[in-house]
Structure 1
């Protein structure tokens, strides 16, 4: 998932191009609705069922939207869950697979990215969200715990399934209630993304090789 250079700084296996780092703040919803984006393969380990359990605990009158992008064997199951629960059907949109250019539009629309995976590596989508100035909610383990902290996103934890679901719900509510904090952490995430570009990655590896050759 990642290794370290001579200064013990994490070097992820994935990165973004420096030209893809941009501020999408002017394209966000202006009506006070917090838009959450979820993207990836719709399989069990991605934790979408846990996310839906958490969303069912968010008061139905709350102003927010969750846009779920991606395809996979769990997609129809997730759509059925939305149909069967009025809270989910009002707030969740399972879009399915979309072209890459349309994905850019989804990033531009989103205020917060959610990665609810129960087992995950760093994940390209995490860096993509970071590069667009989008803070991330993710489990306090794996690659997300390396990339994000309280200044760039929300990390949730727990010892049981119940605790994970409840803490995920709390993180979602905090984003909805505190839009200024979402903006602050998003700006910090965008800045931090500058350390995870292919250009920076190349510089770090180049320094490692040069230091090794000097010995």
Structure 2
């Protein structure tokens, strides 16, 4: 399995997905070697073989696609993977997690004569809000054309790939999941509203802040928390001052997986106003802590989170009204929390592991 990040080196949902999927595959007796750029991970994992290569120097997150050296690092890690594994003939399949390692995946498929499976977590069109880098888009699409099988995390992304000419019969949807807490979280009303995610155009944080302004005009004691980092941070901080809400908004920066659970618990509502969101695993993480969710209609998680309030990301008045309703009516908030918590049992990582194993078996059988 070729990736770019793995806990504790986390940028977004990709690392979380890889962590839980590899554990689920181990339960299916699938032996996984996970290959990534060297992020100085010291942890030992008993269910997989973690290989970190020094071919690239990227140690932090990769928010800055605007860094001119980024593509050099991508090509370096792909070249390093090819060099290390081009003569290794003890693997049955290659599984690439997104486009970043797809060059190596395509080349190793040819050299080793084994099938290539691509998981597409987000398209370049999604990540850039409809203004894709053609170089990245072409890498994605070429990988999908050459792959023996493609996994997407939602029908939303499946349809996006089909719109780019990828045959529907190559694509299987396998939803993300989250671990269900062994004990149900205890909730207290706090009048706190949370956004968690990368601070990029794709995530729609500016709409969250504009909705916050409308909420505060009617309810002054609400606190809005923003967990995450990204290139839009300076502009978002400036926007809070322009809107006159800087005293009611807290920027928490990056919050690790253990601490974010406590942040979810402390908040009454979680809002995911993404402009384009192929899935949105943070919404499920919030549900696991019994925090009701308000999500944009343009998100994959809307396919599984049936009890969520769905809004158009640009409709800040509806977003504000939904936040106010959830804050005001305790019964509504509690009903959403209870039903959301129960919904999580419909999609588990064990299910994802079994379904992914079937994809491997089909691809190997056709190879």
Task: Give the TM-score normalised by structure 2.
Answer: 0.47
2:229–2:253 CA contact under 8 A, matched in 1: yes
Q: Within 5 A, what are the aligned runs for 1:58-97? A: 58-60=215-217, 62=219, 63-86=221-244, 88-97=245-254
The answer for the alignment partner of 1:99 in structure 2 is 256
Match of 2:196 in 1: 39
Q: What is the Cα deviation at residue 203 of structure 1?
A: 5.3
Q: Distance in 1 between matches of 2:264 and 2:236?
A: 21
SS class of match (1:133): coil
| Cα gap change, 1:36 to 1:76, in 2 (>3 Å) | same
CA deviation vs aligned residue, 1:141-195 (integer Å, no higher than 9, x gap): 331321223xx2211138xx4xx12211111111121122111101110000111
What's the C-alpha RMSD, in Å, of the aligned pairs? 2.6
1:131 aligned residue: 288
Q: 1:60-209 counterparts in 2 under 5 A? A: 60=217, 62=219, 63-86=221-244, 88-149=245-306, 152-157=307-312, 161=314, 164-202=315-353
Displacement after TM superposition at 1:75 (Å): 1.1
Q: Is the 8 A contact 1:21 1:132 kept in 2?
A: no
Equivalent residue number for residue 47 of structure 2: none
Question: Secondary structure of the equivalent of 2:251?
Answer: strand
Contact 1:38-1:69 at 8 Å conserved across structures: yes
What displacement does 1:72 show?
0.4
Unaligned runs of 5+ in 1: 5-9, 210-215
Query: Tell me, which stretches of 5 or more residues in structure 2 are unaligned?
Result: 1-152, 159-172, 361-367
CA distance in 2, matches of 1:119, 1:202: 26
User: What is the number of equivalent residue pairs in this alignment?
Assistant: 192
Give, in whole Å, the separation in 2 of the partners of 1:79 and 1:85: 10
SS, match of residue 215 in structure 2: coil
- The offset of 1:58, in angstroms, is 1.9
* Displaced runs of 4 or more, over 6 A: 205-209
**Whole-angstrom distance in 2 between the partners of 1:157 and 1:129:** 20
Aligned equivalents of 2:296 and 2:256: distance in 1? 27
2:305/2:343 contact within 8 Å kept = no
CA distance in structure 2 between the aligned counterparts of 1:103 and 1:16, rounded to whole angstroms: 13
Q: Larger radius of gyration, structure 1 or 2? A: 2
Structure 2: distance between partners of 1:205 and 1:61:
48
CA distance in 1, matches of 2:182, 2:209: 30
Q: Describe the SS at the equivalent of 2:340.
A: helix
State the alpha-carbon separation in 2 of the partners of residues 170 and 146 from structure 1: 23
**What is the CA–CA distance in structure 2 between the aligned matches of 1:208 and 1:73, rounded to whole Å?**
37
